[in-house]
């Protein structure tokens, strides 16, 4: 049996519309449409251009319908977490959604802790404290005396906002909603305590649905406009990491995952949230996963730092590709400096090479203007941070990790993959690069009854996608250098 699906995959740098074909034993992908996704400045704030995104998504659906003569069984949408749109009582988007890096959340975590103790927030939600979380975005609106919340009928997270515009149904898919730090992870429902104590309106929150459900049909007028039938719109793992982890070609329970891209998300699947003094100390996050799992993980700044360095150098006239930067980094001096990739100084866009040098100088290390050296410092520091997180995962779960599966666009940086194996001392299996789109399609196939389970989907991924293995080298050297680097990560 063969079925065709459309995966809409929205990332912080670009979006794709992908045609997926699933049979009993194999899966094939075809990227039909790709578009850039950059924030815009609007009224002094960093935002997402939602009309542009929606127009590109529609164009992609129309193209996809034209390239296949076969019946399409569903459409699924995934995106990054925490960001949202506000819908008024007439069902209209009130304004462009804010970007999670907008500065309005500066200081909002401290403001929240004045109203509810920090530990109470964590033990309620199980989510790592980051100023970009939805709860602090809402608190920023409340604190600024904005009338937006009074005008709002419903808040809809980004992927689900696209689904709303396609099928007219308002919902919050569980994996995406869980990133907000507004949900009680023990109950899977919105936390009344958080909303009450922060004086936020809980009535604007949509009903929560689980991944793998048909939530609606493509609006008839939109179907006509796009040359499509009224296709089923399916709630997949709407958080892109949830979809990516569904596509990890792993077996057993001695593996961890690293979803590598703008962000690095490293963790393990567990059957229920782990919220205790140790996870609070290390600031592990518990996010909803597909198939009644929890993703116990750490958010790490990831390749964002390299991306921002490249943007800065491009603005200065140096048109270097990522592969060129990786080549320069490979030739640079090893272990010339260390940073904590998660330091708040690296959170905002702009001047990233200067920020790295400021950090190095303040830490008593040598600064550098060499492009390759800067990138190597970032990549080695990421690899060391991955080791630190893996050690904490083993401590928290009591399980030994034997294999690290890396998925996502970051696996194209083969130098970082090798550094990760070297630093962690673990076997690394890299692939698939299109994990998010594949997991999106797997969950659609489960919703239609074509696949029995996530494990069934992972078997198909294993049959269909070539992976690359990296084995540790120079382990003694990396372990010795880690002793110096880890002080930047220790809590």
CATH of the domain at 473: 3.30.420.40
Q: Is the pLDDT of residue 76 over 80?
A: yes
Tens digit of each residue's pLDDT (9 = 90 or more) over 112-128: 999 999 999 999 999 99
Domain assignment of residue 124, yes or no:
yes
Q: Is the pLDDT of residue 407 over 70?
A: yes
Measured between alpha carbons, how far is 263 from 303 in angstroms, rounded to an integer?
6
Q: Same domain for 10 and 48? A: yes
Q: Is the pLDDT of residue 179 over 90?
A: yes
Q: Same domain for 151 and 287? A: no
First and final C-alpha spacing in the chain: 52
Q: Does the annotation mark 147 as catalytic?
A: no
Task: Report helix, strand or coil for 312.
Answer: helix
Tens digit of each residue's pLDDT (9 = 90 or more) over 285-340: 999 999 999 999 999 999 999 999 999 999 999 999 999 999 999 999 999 999 99
φ, ψ of residue 371 to 5 degrees: the values are -55, -50
Domain assignment of residue 156, yes or no:
yes
What residues have CB less than 8 Å from 142, skipping those under 6 apart? Answer: 149, 198, 199, 200
Domain assignment of residue 395, yes or no:
yes
User: Closest Cα to residue 255, out of 390, 382, 388?
Assistant: 390
Q: What's the confidence (pLDDT) of residue 491?
A: 60
Count of structural domains, the chain: 2
Measured between alpha carbons, how far is 443 from 9 in angstroms, rounded to an integer?
13
Higher local confidence (pLDDT), 384 or 253: 384
DSSP 443: H
DSSP strand pairing (285-288 vs 468-470): unpaired
Q: Same domain for 140 and 256? A: no
Domain assignment of residue 445, yes or no:
no
The sign of the torsion formed by the CA atoms of 52, 263, 295, 113 equals negative
Q: Is the pLDDT of residue 401 over 70?
A: yes
**Average confidence (pLDDT) over 128-151:** 94
Q: Same domain for 344 and 210? A: no
Q: Same domain for 78 and 214? A: yes
Q: Is the pLDDT of residue 12 over 90?
A: no
Average pLDDT of every residue of the chain = 97
Measured between alpha carbons, how far is 241 from 289 in angstroms, rounded to an integer?
9
Last residue of a domain, one of 240, 258, 282: 240
Q: What domain range includes position 208?
A: 3-240
Tens digit of each residue's pLDDT (9 = 90 or more) over 337-383: 999 999 999 999 999 999 999 999 999 999 999 999 999 999 999 99
Task: Report helix, strand or coil for 445.
Answer: helix
Q: Same domain for 216 and 264? A: no
Last residue of a domain, one of 220, 240, 260: 240
Q: Same domain for 342 and 425? A: yes
Share of the chain above pLDDT 90, in %: 97
Q: Same domain for 220 and 262? A: no
Q: What's the confidence (pLDDT) of residue 489?
A: 87
Domain assignment of residue 436, yes or no:
no
Q: Same domain for 25 and 119? A: yes
Last residue of a domain, one of 218, 240, 262: 240
Q: Same domain for 268 and 234? A: no
Tens digit of each residue's pLDDT (9 = 90 or more) over 225-246: 999 999 999 999 999 999 999 9
Q: What's the confidence (pLDDT) of residue 229?
A: 96
Domain assignment of residue 446, yes or no:
no
Domain assignment of residue 75, yes or no:
yes
Task: Please report, for residues 120, 124, 298, 376, 396, the alpha-carbon distance to residue 277 in angstroms, rounded to integers and kept in the order given.
Answer: 12, 13, 16, 35, 10
**Average confidence (pLDDT) over 66-80:** 96
Q: Same domain for 276 and 386? A: yes
Domain assignment of residue 120, yes or no:
yes
Tens digit of each residue's pLDDT (9 = 90 or more) over 431-459: 999 999 999 999 999 999 999 999 999 99
Catalytic residue among 9, 83, 160, 240: 240
Q: Same domain for 262 and 150? A: no
Q: What's the confidence (pLDDT) of residue 283?
A: 96
User: Closest Cα to residue 100, out of 143, 55, 178, 157?
Assistant: 157
Sequential DSSP letters for 235-302: E---BHHHHHHHT----SSSEEEEEESSSEEEEEEESS---SHHHHHHT-EEEE-STT-EEEEEEE-T
pTM of the complete model: 0.95
């Amino acid at each position: 049996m063969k079925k065709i699906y459309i995966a809409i995959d929205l990332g912080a740098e670009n979006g794709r519309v992908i045609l997926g074909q699933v049979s009993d034993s194999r899966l094939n992908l075809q990227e039909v449409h790709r578009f850039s996704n950059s924030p815009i400045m609007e009224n002094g704030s960093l935002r997402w251009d939602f009309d542009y995104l929606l127009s590109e998504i529609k164009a992609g659906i129309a193209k996809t319908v034209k390239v296949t003569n076969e019946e399409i069984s569903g459409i699924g949408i995934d995106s990054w977490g925490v960001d949202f749109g506000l819908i008024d009582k007439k069902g209209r988007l009130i304004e462009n959604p804010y970007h999670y890096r907008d500065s309005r959340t500066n200081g909002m975590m401290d403001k929240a802790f004045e109203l509810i103790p920090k530990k109470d927030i964590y033990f309620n939600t199980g989510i790592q404290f980051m100023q970009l979380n939805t709860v602090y975005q809402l608190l920023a609106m409340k604190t600024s005396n904005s009338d937006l919340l009074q005008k709002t009928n419903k808040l809809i997270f980004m992927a689900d906002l696209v689904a709303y515009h396609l099928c007219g149904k308002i919902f919050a898919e569980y994996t995406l909603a869980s990133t907000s730090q507004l949900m009680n992870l023990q109950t899977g429902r919105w936390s009344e305590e958080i909303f009450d104590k922060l004086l936020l309106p809980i009535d604007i929150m949509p009903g929560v649905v689980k991944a793998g459900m048909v939530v609606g049909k493509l609006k008839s007028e939109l179907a006509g406009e796009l040359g499509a039938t009224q296709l089923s719109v399916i709630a997949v793992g709407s958080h892109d990491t949830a979809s990516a982890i569904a596509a990890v070609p792993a077996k057993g329970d001695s593996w961890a995952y690293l979803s590598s891209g703008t962000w690095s998300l490293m963790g393990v699947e567990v059957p229920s949230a782990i919220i205790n003094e140790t996870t609070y100390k290390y600031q592990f996050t518990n996010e909803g996963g597909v198939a009644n799992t929890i993703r116990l993980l750490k958010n790490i700044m990831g390749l964002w730092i390299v991306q921002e360095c490249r943007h800065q150098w491009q603005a200065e006239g140096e048109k270097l590709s990522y592969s060129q930067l990786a080549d320069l980094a490979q030739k640079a001096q090893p272990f010339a400096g260390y940073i904590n990739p998660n330091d708040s100084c690296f959170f905002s866009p702009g001047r990233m090479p200067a920020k790295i040098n400021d950090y190095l100088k303040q830490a008593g290390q040598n600064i550098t203007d060499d492009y390759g050296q800067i990138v190597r410092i970032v990549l080695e520091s990421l690899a060391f941070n991955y080791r630190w997180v893996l050690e904490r995962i083993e401590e928290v779960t009591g399980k030994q990790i034997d294999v690290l599966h890396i998925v996502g666009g970051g696996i194209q940086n083969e130098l970082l993959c090798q550094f990760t194996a070297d630093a962690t001392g673990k076997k690394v299996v890299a692939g698939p690069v299109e994990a998010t789109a594949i997991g999106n399609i797997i969950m659609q196939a489960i919703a239609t009854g074509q696949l029995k389970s996530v494990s069934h989907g992972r078997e198909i991924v294993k049959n269909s996608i070539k992976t690359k293995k990296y084995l540790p080298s120079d382990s003694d050297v990396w372990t010795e250098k880690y002793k110096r680097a880890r002080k930047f990560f220790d809590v």
